Chain A
Amino acid sequence: MNRRKMLSLLGMSPALLAASRAEAAKTKTKIAKPTAGAGKIEALNPKGIPPPIQLVPMAPRLNSLDGKTIYLVSDGFPGADHFLAQVGLWFKKNMPDVTTMYRLKAGAFADDDPKLNAEIKAKGNAVIMAIGH
């Protein structure tokens, strides 16, 4: 299933991805009808409270990669460094006007790295980030 189909199935709302609706939709379970009656009982929803989601506008894109510097950033998962080396090699072969810079992000996998972010803003134009294995 692609992302648009997934979001469409979920009412185009990213918020729904946080809830159990994905599984509900997937299993196509007959949903309990909200009418009490003989032999029926009422049970409480055990779900907690997800936080509101602040939509984050994506950063403006570049007109072209020619002459630009792309940072190749690893989050530290095994193999990401080798993989990004191959990405650098691909640019060297296919888009030689692009400069690539490899960096290992500081901290745990999901931690922000403000120092690296500042460096990229000052010296780079874009990022390719290898996430996970």
Chain B
Amino acid sequence: MGFPTAPMVTIAFKNLALSNAAQRGMPHERICFTPHPVWGKTDAEMYAYLEGNDPVSGKPLMKEVTDALTQPLTADESKSGTVTPDVGPATFIDTSDNLQQYYLDNGLTDFMHIQLPTQEKVDAMLKGTSHHPDEVVGKMCPARGSYPEWSFTVRHVAINAVMAGALPEYLPTILAIASSGVTALSSSTNSFAVAAVINGPIRDKLNMNYGIGAMGPFAQPNAAIGRAWTMVSRNLGNSGMPGQTYLGTFGNSVNYNNLIIPENEKDSPWTPFHVQKGFKPEQNVVSLFVGFSISQGQAGVGLGVKPVPQFHEALRYNMIPFGPLFGALGVLDPLVAQGLVELGFKTKEQLADWLQKNSTISAKDARSTLFGGRWVRDPQTPDDARIPYYAKADSYNFVVVGGQTNPYHMVANMSYRVSVPIDQWA
């Protein structure tokens, strides 16, 4: 920035701060640490932090801060030039059991058994695409703007696809996901989850499950494609190293293989999701979502109303806890979608419009939330003013999936990110 700076970070983020500074070219940045947390502490408690010691150095914190701004630079701190990170040898040789342990111990897996990526298996995987193994697919990092982006080739993606147990015919879908640069393992403290909505004939070609148990562990393509996204994120996107590139306080079991949602196009009364985004029905497309996670909607108001449950009211009710950081994704069994059509919602867009117009929060309540400033930007807004949960209807998205064993729905506080054609990676 060109002026002396003393960054102050809480001890909980020590490794993150140190590694991030190093990766940004300042391995000796004079970071000063406070106890954790700061958020939620009283003024007196925070002042006591300042009067105490830096928990890393053990020295008086404010002396650390003033020294950081005034002590002359060392030779290391003044260095310029370029260094090249080392990610280890191209191959590892050992027994199968030892290699399994090695990959696991070195954070190269999701901590479950993998298919070892031998040259033979990777070569077979590469037959799933016409692209050259050395072609650069894209870039990825744990959070854009916060970490340097790593790049990767078709071969790199194929190696990770093998590890995830994928078949060669899944590779174009995995490449499409990887090319988006959307990591499945965000560095956020929130323990985010991701979703991939898959549309087009490829769902049947790969025998994807979009019926009973579609989002569960009941079909190889759903499972392996989702798991590969996590492998790719970890190994190609430098994501998922707790304390350094992953800070989710709880973690999220969805991250094991993510929400893979092949849309049940044949039983849906509505336009498929990819067609909503401008693609042709016969195109194969994967559309990605990022957000908090997903939960059931069976407790929603209106579902006990006969003869047609008030699914729109239930969706509104279920989405009330959602914060403005991400949009709303409704995952609907075909029976729910058909019921909504009976209620007059002939399109997904009509449902989104209704929800946008009828879902509001008072300015007072919005201000009191953690992200209130994102909702109420004008400080003159009166407390009793009603603020839409989402300013635009396109913050609401819907996908139809499931086996029609009952008219159920799920809701996710997740935002649509991007749609990627799969065929371009075939």
Contact = CB atoms under 8 A, between A and B. Distances in A.
Interface of A: 2-3, 6-7, 13-24, 27, 29-36, 39-65, 70, 77-80, 82-83, 85-87, 89-90, 94-95, 108-111, 117, 120-121, 124-133
A38 to B, nearest CB: 10
A14 B25 CA distance: 8
Interface in B36-93: 36-41, 43, 46-47, 49-51, 56-57, 62, 65-66, 69-73, 77-93
B13 to A, nearest CB: 5
A54 B82 contact: yes
B23 interface: yes
25 contacts: A3-B18, A13-B83, A14-B27, A17-B27, A17-B244, A40-B94, A43-B92, A43-B99, A43-B116, A43-B118, A44-B118, A46-B103, A47-B236, A57-B78, A58-B4, A58-B28, A58-B78, A59-B5, A60-B4, A61-B70, A63-B70, A79-B41, A83-B41, A90-B47, A110-B146
B149 interface: yes
Interface stretch (B151-159, B300-308, B401-409): B151-159
Given A51-B150, A132-B13, A20 B106 contact: yes
B10 A133 contact: yes
B38 A80 contact: yes
Interface of B: 1-10, 12-13, 17-19, 22-31, 34, 36-41, 43, 46-47, 49-51, 56-57, 62, 65-66, 69-73, 77-96, 98-99, 101-103, 105-108, 116-119, 122, 140, 143, 145-146, 148-153, 156, 159-160, 163, 189, 231, 235-238, 241, 244, 370
Contact of A49 (B93, B101, B151, B160): B151
B98 A30 contact: yes
A121 B3 contact: yes
A16 B85 contact: yes
B3 A126 contact: yes
